[in-house]
Chain A
Amino acid sequence: MNAPFYQFGLFGNDTALLFAVVIGIGFGFFLEQAGFGSSVKLAQQFYLRDLTVFKVMFTAIVTAMLGLFWLSWLGLVDLSLVRVLPTYLVPQLIGGLVFGVGFVMGGYCPGTCCVAAVTGKMDGWIHLAGMFAGIFLFGELLPLIGNWYSSTPMGEITLSQIFNLSHGTMVLLIVLAALAGFYGADKLEGRSRST
C-alpha cells in the first residue's frame, strides 16, 4: 500500500474534491452525534459540568495518532508525506488566547458552528456571520501585522523533537496522559452531578 494515496498520485484533483465531500460528511456526522450542534452543550466544558468536548477531542486525537503510528510502523503510510503545519509559536499562542475567549463567549468553533447552523440553530448562523467578519478583519489587518504574524517560526516541528524522544515514546506518553484525563473527567462529572 502506498499511502497517502493522493501524494502518490493514485488519483487526481477532481477525485480529491469528491473525497473532500465524503470526509466532510463523516466529520459533520460525528460532530453532530457528539452533541456539538449545541452551544449550551459545548460551553459546559468551561464550567466543568459536562466534559464531552475534552473526551471527544482527545479520543479523536489519540485514535488518529495511534492509527497513523501503526500504519507507518507497518510501512503502509509514508509519514513524511503527511503535511504537518509549520509552527509560529507566539502568533499561535495569542491566536489561541483570542480563540478561547470567543469559544466561551459565542459557544461554537468554526466546525461545530456549521453543524449548529445546518440543524437550525439561529445563534449558529449569527456566529457564522461573526466569523466572516472576524476573518475579514484579519485580512484587512494583515498588512499591518504581517511581520509579527510571521514571527517565531519553528518550521514543521513536533513534540517528539522538542522533548528529544522517539516518536513511539511520545505517542505512548500522550495516550497515557489522555487516559488519565478521561479518568479525571469522569470523576469531575460525577462530582458535579451529585452536587
Chain B
Amino acid sequence: MNPYLAGIGLGLVLLTAFVVMGRGLGASGALSSFVTLGVNAVAPAHAQSNAFYEEYLGTPNGNPLNDWLVYEIAGVLIGGLISGLIAGRVRRTVDKGARITVSTRMIYAFGGGILIGLGSKIARGCTSGQALTGGALLSVGSWFFMIAVFASAYAVAYLFNRQWT
C-alpha cells in the first residue's frame, strides 16, 4: 500500500481510539502483561513485591491478561494476519539480507529485542504508545523519545549494514 495511504489508515485507527476510549495505541505494555503473568506464575511473592509487576497485576480480577492493551495486541495479530493473507505474504521465512547467515540474523534479532524491551520500559512506551500516540497528543517526552530513537539508530546503523543488504 502507498505509505501515505497506510499512514492515513493508521492515523484514523489512532483517532478512533482517542474518540472512543480517550487513550491511544500500545504494544510494549501488552508484552509486559505477559512477562508479569510468567513471573507471577513462577514466583508470586517476588512479583507482588516489585512495583513494576505489581502495576500489571492490578487488573480488576488480578489476572494481568485482563487488560485493554492485551486485547488490543490480540487484535493486532488478527489484523496483521488478515492483511498478510490478502497480500499473499504469509509464509515461514527468516527476513534478512543475503550476506549474513540465519544464525547471525537470529542473534541480532534476539539482542535487538532485549534492547527494545529494555528501552521501551525505561521510556514508558514504544513507537506505538510514545511515538504515535504521544506524538499526536504533542507530549514533550514522546517527541524527545522519538528524536532519541532516530538519532541513536542512525548513529549505529553502520554496525549493522551487512545484515540488511
Contacts and interface: CB of A to CB of B under 8 A. Distances in A.
Nearest to A148: B122
A95 B153 contact: no
A126 B13 contact: no
Given A67-B11, A96-B123, A135-B121, A21 B78 contact: yes
A85 B95 contact: no
A123 B10 contact: no
Interface in A84-135: 84-89, 91-124, 126-135
A103 to B, nearest CB: 5
Given A24-B79, A91-B123, A99-B116, A39 B17 contact: no
A172 interface: no
Contact of A61 (B11, B113, B125): B11
A157 B119 CA distance: 21
Contacts of A127: 109-110, 112-113, 116
Interface size range of chain A in the complex: 35 or more
B95 A64 contact: no
A122 B113 CA distance: 13
Contacts, number: 523
A120 B133 CA distance: 27
The DSSP consensus for interface residues of chain B is helix
A114 B157 contact: no
Interface string B1-31: 1011011111111111111111111011001
The DSSP consensus for interface residues of chain A is helix
A100 B53 CA distance: 25
Contacts of A73: none
Interface string A158-171: 11111000010011
Contacts of B139: 84-85, 87, 156-159
Interface string B139-159: 111111111111111111101
A24 B74 contact: yes
A6 B21 CA distance: 5
Contacts of A24: 71-79
A21 B28 contact: no
A39 B106 CA distance: 12
Given A24-B78, A84-B137, 8 more contacts: A27-B128, A30-B1, A77-B18, A87-B144, A107-B164, A109-B116, A112-B127, A131-B117
Interface of B: 1, 3-4, 6-25, 27-28, 31-32, 34-36, 38-39, 50-53, 60, 68-69, 71-84, 87, 89-97, 105-106, 108-157, 159-161, 163-164
